[in-house]
Structure 1
Amino acid sequence: MNISRRTALKSATALGASALLLTGLTGCGAADMTQQASPYANAEGAKTVTLSVQSWVGAQADVAVAKIILERELGYRVDTIQVDEVPAWDALSQGRVDMIMEDWGHPDQEKLYVDDKKTIVPAGEVGVIGHIGWFVPKYFADKHPDVTDWRNLNKYADEFKTPESGGKGQLLDGSPSYVTNDKALVNNLKLDYQVVFSGSEAAQITQIQRFAKEKKPFLTYWYKPQWLFEQVPMVEVKLPKYSDECAAKAPEAIDCEYPTTPLMKFMNAKFAKKGGKAATFLKNFNWNADQQNKVSLMIADQKLSPEAAAEKWVADNEKTWKAWLPK
């Protein structure tokens, strides 16, 4: 969900619920799915676009809305392929997919493919500002306000223990495929915690909802914007202040908070030049966190299919998306 989910931004869009809702896969997916790409991806002259679908629900909302408009308004066939967030860069570079609709920041991949190989180009901002952090439920922070300072986390480690955390406090994470700083932070800040992976974003949401229903304390890696905050109010734990110097350290040496960054779109370089109206539309695609969360909430909470959620949003927001169409 990753900023890189290492120098993070997972990290999460933003984001929320399950890849199961869209593709039948969990988390960001443990497997490299690049071989499933459409044979039409990046085919010169083809009226087909292939979009990479990331596993978090905010990215699924991006793709679902773009797909409907590309098909109905511009006459394209749209293929969607789920690819893990890092392998997606390789798939994009090779033309197996034409577009990553939402990236949380992967500086190493940008340097390799944008700066050095020049096979990928930036395609503008999504319009959503993303931030990853550690969060506790508001009901716990209200009773113990000092928990929001990382220096006091060890004081509460016993309250955050679970059977899975090996006698330490639990820091709940999502999919093991997410590139996070959490293990390094726990180690470098000398915290008496164990990172426990739930397995996927959907599983993590289910766990958070269960804790909240029972009013149990929990500490979790999470991200904004995300529809779950509407159901389970959470308060961020302040980690050591972010700096570029900290982010430049080796992954195992990171000891500061995750940055806040605009989420970005990236295109295959050839598609950017030859993708015609589809490429222009996708560059123009830009919406805010509230708009994205409306679609995400329909998918993840109301259990609409991504297509049905996108249908409702497109029907209600014609003025917004018509501005994305090529002139």
Structure 2
Amino acid sequence: MARTRYAALAAAVALTALTGCGAADMTRQASPYAAAEGSRTVTLSVQSWVGAQANVAVAQYLLEHELGYRVDTVQIDEVPAWDALSQGRVDAILEDWGHPDQEKRYIDDKGTIERGGDLGVTGHIGWFVPTYFAEQHPDVTDWKNLNKYAEAFRTVESGGKGQLMDGSPSYVTNDKALVDSLGLDYQVVFAGSEAAQITQIKQFAKEQKPFLTYWYKPQWLFEKVPMTEVKLPAYKEGCDADPEKVACAYPHTPLQKFFNARFAEGGGDAAAFLKRFRWTTDMQNDVALMIAEQKLSPQEAAGRWVKDHESTWRAWLPS
């Protein structure tokens, strides 16, 4: 995820009708219903983090229950999803954290994808420590002091250095470049998935142990494990242009929707609805929390949210 690179969450929180997801290109597993002209079917790409799943769950619920569409969902890694969208294998991506190279290729050059507008949520990635540790050691929140605490963050997996915990190695991040560029005595260690990362964070918190982790907002886990951001060198436009030499913080990114161009023009009520679909960070977190923490199915969570927020979603429906 990101104008730079962003992470995902809760790969283990599966959606009904989702295909599997991993490092391989999943575009060949896309729905046969995508771009089916004249049919009342929609295929939505679902990224593996739970906020993206929350978007799709609510959109699917309303498309099916209010507009009478059949909705198919396909889980695809964030970059391959652009190729799937371009080819019409899926109709829409509802949460993108910024891929300017893909936008240039498919929107500006090929014209096979169109912008679908703001989701209404602003995303931000950063490095975080547990608030209980930050309160004990306030200077840890400045990156210049991280080497001072490298030993405290050391784990068996970090090879004698401090551990910077990331999620899945399939997610594109700046963390290795940041460690190198800033001269930090840390090793990036991948938990394996965002679900595994959440489990590890919860375990550290239960034991009141220090940890340094790549994490992001919006994210429901902050309600369960309060975390404080470490200040990295300020983000400036273009400071992350060379992925090998990034030495700045991640940006704050208004999350965007993207549609297959044919669907954007000929998708009828479904396309009109998805263009108007726009909610808040708190709304997304409410649904995400129900899915990831309360263990409701995505459609159960969406149904509860829809029941309580009619004044919001009514405005998304085509007039």
Contact 1:160 1:169 in 2 (8 A): yes
Q: Given the alignment, which residue of 197, 213, 232 partners 1:220?
A: 213
Uncovered stretches (5+) of structure 1, i.e. residues with no partner: none
Contact 1:149 1:237 in 2 (8 A): yes
Once the two structures are superposed, the pairs formed by residues 11-160 of structure 1 within 5 Å of their partners are: 11-12=7-8, 16-22=9-15, 29-160=22-153
Partner of 2:252: 260
Aligned-residue Cα RMSD (Å) equals 1.5
Matching of residue 324 in structure 1 with residue 309 in structure 2: no
TM-aligned CA deviation for residue 23 of structure 1 = 6.0
Aligned amino acid, residue 89 of structure 1: W
TM-aligned CA deviation for residue 247 of structure 1 = 2.3
Identity %: 73
Partner of 1:309: 301
Contact 2:114 2:264 in 1 (8 A): yes
Matching of residue 283 in structure 1 with residue 279 in structure 2: no
TM-score by length of 1: 0.95
TM-score by length of 2: 0.97
Distance 2:163 2:193 in 1: 16
TM-aligned CA deviation for residue 79 of structure 1 = 0.2
Q: How many residue pairs end up in the alignment?
A: 319
Partner of 1:188: 181
SS across alignment from 1:236:
strand
Contact 1:74 1:277 in 2 (8 A): yes
SS across alignment from 1:21:
coil
Contact 2:19 2:75 in 1 (8 A): no
Q: Structure 1, residues 250-279: CA drift from partner, whole Å, max 9, x if none?
A: 110111000001000000001000000000
SS across alignment from 1:277:
helix
TM-aligned CA deviation for residue 41 of structure 1 = 0.4
Partner of 2:166: 173
Partner of 1:234: 227
Uncovered stretches (5+) of structure 2, i.e. residues with no partner: none
TM-aligned CA deviation for residue 35 of structure 1 = 0.9
Partner of 1:209: 202
Contact 1:28 1:85 in 2 (8 A): no
Distance 1:23 1:65 in 2: 13
